[in-house]
Amino acid sequence: MAIACVRNLFAVVALGGIYSFLMALALLVLDAVDVSMTEASVGAGVSTVLLLGALYLTRIDEAPPLRVSAAPMVVALAAGAALLYGSWDLPPFGDPAGAIHHHVAPRYLNQVIAETGVPNVVTAVLASYRGYDTLGETTVIFTAGIGVLLLLKGRRRRRDGGGAAL
Amino acid sequence: MVDAVAHFSNWVTVILMVIGLYVVLARGNLIKKLVGLSIFQTSVYLLYIGPGKILGGTAPIIAEGFTVYSNPLPHVLILTAIVVGVATLALGLALVVRIHEAYGTIEEDEVLGREGDT
């Protein structure tokens, strides 16, 4: 909530880092240890560093809005109400009879030692069963890295060119 | 009352989603928009991880003495989503830096205003 109201972007980024750590704790409570570690390192660490870097390259204060409109609040609250209405039909929290616990998950849990020998099921699925998908994921990250490099490289060259012209 | 506890994780998810959506829609500052997008994204993490939890279960690492494990599949999906999310965040921030370079501002209103002038 404070993130929406604070105008100093440095404070926004700091609050975002704290929020990511809290989210990592919540994920830990929900038994998602691998996800929790990734969120703590990537979400709270790398994202905060990236945001601070962007702040260093731009500026740190947010301008007051030119016009204030109620439409975004209405849209957000309407979407929230619709989601709450829909969530009422979901299975209750922590119920082993829920639909998602009876599809492929038990098969992975029962066969993982025999088929891969890796006790951590998340690692086994990520690297062994779905290895090609993980390769695709790294391709996405590689593409994003190329994009960032291209965007920022053109910027530096233009600045150099401008300096030479002066 | 039991019902309220049973759906608490969904409520938290929806509240975070609404906050994120509001920040993305209402705030003109591009960096704040990206932070709002991150909040929206974490609410999606909760949306996936929350139903995967089984009460009384443990983390899905096969070990002696445990028989009930939480569902590992949402964890795999969200692990991928976090990493891809950081990649998109980096790309978005690079775009913001370039916009700041071209327009001298990172406010959406001012960028649109300068676009209209030229």
Taking the Cβ of residue A140 and every Cβ of chain B, the question of whether any pair is shorter than 8 Å is answered with yes
- The pLDDT, as a whole number, for residue B55 is 76
Q: Are A33 and B88 an interchain contact pair (Cβ–Cβ within 8 Å)?
A: no
Kindly tell me if the per-residue pLDDT of A157 is higher than 80.
no
CATH number, domain containing residue B66? 1.10.287.3510
Distances (CA, A) of A107 to A7, A133, A159, B83: 50, 19, 57, 26
Helices (H), A7-130: 9-29, 33-38, 47-57, 71-87, 105-115, 121-124
**Which residues 57-76 in chain B show a CB within 8 A of chain A?**
57-63, 68-76
Residue A100 lies in a domain: no
Interface of A with B in 98-117 (CB under 8 A): 98, 100-101, 104-105, 108-109, 112-113
More confident of the two residues B42 and A97:
B42
In a domain, A4, yes or no: yes
B49 or B63: whose pLDDT is higher? Answer: B49
**B41 to chain A, minimum CA–CA distance in Å?**
11
Domain residues for the domain of A10 are 1-62
The alpha carbon of residue B45 is apart from the nearest alpha carbon of chain A, in Å, by: 9
Best A8, A28, A29, A121 residue to mutate vs chain B (most B CBs within 10 Å): A121
Alpha-carbon distance A132 to nearest alpha carbon in chain B (angstroms): 12
The ipTM, to two decimals, is 0.78
- Smallest Cα–Cα separation from A30: which of B88, B40, B54? B54
Query: Measuring CA to CA, which residue among A64, A1, A153, A140 is closest to residue B19?
Result: A1
* Banded model confidence at residue A104, pLDDT cuts 50, 70, 90: confident
Q: Please indicate whether, in this complex, the C-beta atoms of B8 and A57 are within 8 angstroms of each other.
A: no
pLDDT band at A163 (very low <50, low <70, confident <90, very high): very low
Count: domains in chain B: 1
- The partner residues of B29 in beta bridges, in order of sequence, read B107
Residue A146 has pLDDT above 60, yes or no: yes
Query: Are A36 and A25 spatial neighbours (Cβ–Cβ below 8 Å)?
Result: yes
- Looking at the 3D structure of chain A, how many domains does it have? 2
B107: helix, coil or strand?
strand
pLDDT of residue B3: 60
